[in-house]
Amino acid sequence: MISANLAAIFYLVSGILFILALRGLSSPDTSRQGNYFGIAGMIIAIVVTFLSIGNFSTSLVYVIIFLIIGGVIGAFIAFKIPMTAMPELVAGFHSLVGLAAVFVAIAAFLNPTAFNLGNISDIKLASLIEMSIGAAVGAITFSGSIIAFLKLRGLMSGAPITFSGQHILNLILGIGIFVLIFYLCKTQSSNIFWTVILISFLVGVLLIIPIGGADMPVVISMLNSYSGWAAAGIGFTLENTALIITGALVGSSGAILSYIMCKAMNRSFVSVILGGFGADNSADDKKEKKDQKPVKSGNAEDAAFLMKNASSVIIVPGYGMAVAQAQHALREMVDKLKKKDIKVTYAIHPVAGRMPGHMNVLLAEANVPYDEVFELEDINNDFANSDVAFVIGANDVTNPVAKTDPKSPIFGMPVLDVEKCKSVLFVKRSLSPGYAGIDNELFYKDNTLMLFADAKKMTEDIVKNLD
């Protein structure tokens, strides 16, 4: 058994190790080391908790058993999950953090003596506020992440679900939570505590259902942030430095990612939260009208010919590549091109895919060296000097309309200047517009060749034609 002071110092150490874990991610070289710091921090925190309780009764055996059960499940998931499923995995993990926060808060509420928070029906005021906020945010994180998970997994339509009075309802429920917490502090009634948690579950669902599939990068980052704030709330309740530091780190990390994603879409955070963007019906009408315009379409042979004769090619991957699992075929194609001394680079838009950094992970999985992969601002000037842009599964992030038409919903969004390339190859299943529901001018440009096919199949066909 170690003293509370010594334990606090160890918790601080583990908090610092967590900071170093995030710091390591500033470059791929240091990132693996950073991950070890994180693991070390976690081991310290868990061991110190055991030591400071010093209760080595039979309960401990069960704790370890449950720890191992969870660990085995977690490890199994981590090794089995395909890289394309990363967004839903992360959403699923967020929901677990949220639910764990709720359960810890409930446990503390039911047995405050164990946590030094006072007695049942006489919990310290500050602790009560902290634990109910922790529980509420945790519950929102849990149910919100479940919805995000279902949408990403395709078990639920990615289309926004809206109804009139939605925002007012959310507002009322939000205020309701605060009012209830206020009464909870006055009465210490467990019924109110349960109600707070139930309403929070409901708010989580209501917050995420109106947000469309393509705004998912923002949603995931936002839920990441919430899971951090929930942890911090519990950290205050438990007076635990490691949890407070971690909660703050994760909270601000998620907030920054949400900000980056919003900026990359030129949308305000509020408008994403209010949701309803890219409703499907109106998009279909527009599509019908524009289908008249002439489009040049080609096949794999044409594409291979164009690329063979190019001296530089820029690949622009998007969500479609992830859906089709085309990253390995793509890599094969690039290898062939490189053998012919063609310079190939990759251009990644911040919101390509369904979560921040989604494309980078997929390319890394396909063994693409990370120093060939560039972010928007680093590569955008290169399009003008390149021969071929190979757009695979991306759409809105290449739409020049964002630069030219102030009336367009995506006007002002930073886009990749694909149209400046001498020729553009656009792999897409059909002419349908992207999530923004707007037509891409690029389809109708003279230097664009549309390749209508599944991304993976088309890439494989091109590979065959490159020989």
Partner 1 sequence: MEIDPFIFRLSIFILSIFIGYYVVWSVTPSLHTPLMSVTNAISSVIIVGAIIAALAGTSESIFNTSSIFGFIAIILAAINIFGGFLVTQRMLQMYKKKKNKK
Q: Which is nearer to partner 1, 381 or 404 (CB)?
A: 381
Q: Using CB under 8 A, which of 135, 232, 310, 466 touches partner 1?
A: 232
Q: Is residue 396 annotated as a catalytic residue, yes or no?
A: yes
Q: Does 22 bind partner 1 (CB under 8 A)?
A: yes
DSSP code at position 297: B
Report residue 98 as tokens: 């949220």
Q: Using CB under 8 A, which of 1, 6, 9, 81 touches partner 1?
A: 81
Q: Does 234 bind partner 1 (CB under 8 A)?
A: yes
Report residue 236 as tokens: 């205050």
Alpha carbon distance, N-terminus to C-terminus of the chain: 70
The catalytic residue among 396, 417, 439, 461 is 396
Strand partners, 425: 390, 449
Q: Does 51 bind partner 1 (CB under 8 A)?
A: no
- As a whole number of angstroms, the distance between CA 221 and CA 20 comes to 21
Burial class (CB in 10 A: 0-12, 13-18, 19+), 136: buried
Alpha helices per DSSP H over 374-452: 376-379, 401-404
The enclosing H or E element of 343 equals: strand 343-348
Chain-centre distance for alpha carbon 439 = 26
Ranges of beta strands (E only) in 73-146 are: 118-119, 122-123
Give the shortest CB-415-to-partner 1 separation in angstroms. 16
Which of 260, 287, 247, 252 minimizes the C-alpha distance to 104?
Answer: 247
Give Rg (Cα) of the chain. Answer: 25
Q: Does 204 bind partner 1 (CB under 8 A)?
A: no
Q: Does 32 bind partner 1 (CB under 8 A)?
A: yes
Q: Are the C-beta atoms of residues 380 and 416 closer than 8 Å to each other?
A: yes
Give the shortest CB-217-to-partner 1 separation in angstroms. 9
Q: Using CB under 8 A, which of 123, 180, 238, 316 touches partner 1?
A: 238
Q: Which is nearer to partner 1, 139 or 458 (CB)?
A: 139
Q: Using CB under 8 A, which of 1, 6, 9, 77 touches partner 1?
A: 77
Which among 29-37, 271-279, 303-311, 446-454 is the span making contact with partner 1, rule CB under 8 A?
29-37
Which among 55-63, 277-285, 312-320, 382-390 is the span making contact with partner 1, rule CB under 8 A?
55-63
Q: Does 19 bind partner 1 (CB under 8 A)?
A: yes
212-231 residues near partner 1, rule: CB under 8 A: 220-221, 224, 227-228, 231
- As a whole number of angstroms, the distance between CA 18 and CA 40 comes to 9
Q: Using CB under 8 A, which of 41, 144, 414, 434 touches partner 1?
A: 41
Q: Does 31 bind partner 1 (CB under 8 A)?
A: yes
Q: What are phi and psi of 316, to 5 degrees?
A: -120, 95
CA distances from 415 to 51, 254, 264 (A): 54, 23, 8
User: Which amino acid type is present at position 24?
Assistant: G
Q: Does 380 bind partner 1 (CB under 8 A)?
A: no
Q: Does 156 bind partner 1 (CB under 8 A)?
A: no
Q: Which is nearer to partner 1, 245 or 315 (CB)?
A: 245
Q: Which is nearer to partner 1, 255 or 453 (CB)?
A: 255
Q: Are the C-beta atoms of residues 415 and 403 closer than 8 Å to each other?
A: yes
Pairing type for strands 122-123 and 118-119 reads antiparallel
Q: Does 267 bind partner 1 (CB under 8 A)?
A: no
Q: What are phi and psi of 28, to 5 degrees?
A: -60, -30
- As a whole number of angstroms, the distance between CA 241 and CA 45 comes to 10
Q: Does 58 bind partner 1 (CB under 8 A)?
A: yes
Q: How many residues bind partner 1 (CB under 8 A)?
A: 116
Q: Which is nearer to partner 1, 68 or 179 (CB)?
A: 68
Give the shortest CB-236-to-partner 1 separation in angstroms. 6
Q: Using CB under 8 A, which of 88, 100, 136, 208 touches partner 1?
A: 100
Q: Does 132 bind partner 1 (CB under 8 A)?
A: no
Q: Using CB under 8 A, which of 1, 6, 9, 55 touches partner 1?
A: 55
Q: Using CB under 8 A, which of 1, 9, 110, 175 touches partner 1?
A: 110
Strand partners, 317: 392
- As a whole number of angstroms, the distance between CA 236 and CA 128 comes to 10
337-356 residues near partner 1, rule: CB under 8 A: 348, 350, 355-356
Q: Which residues are catalytic?
A: 396
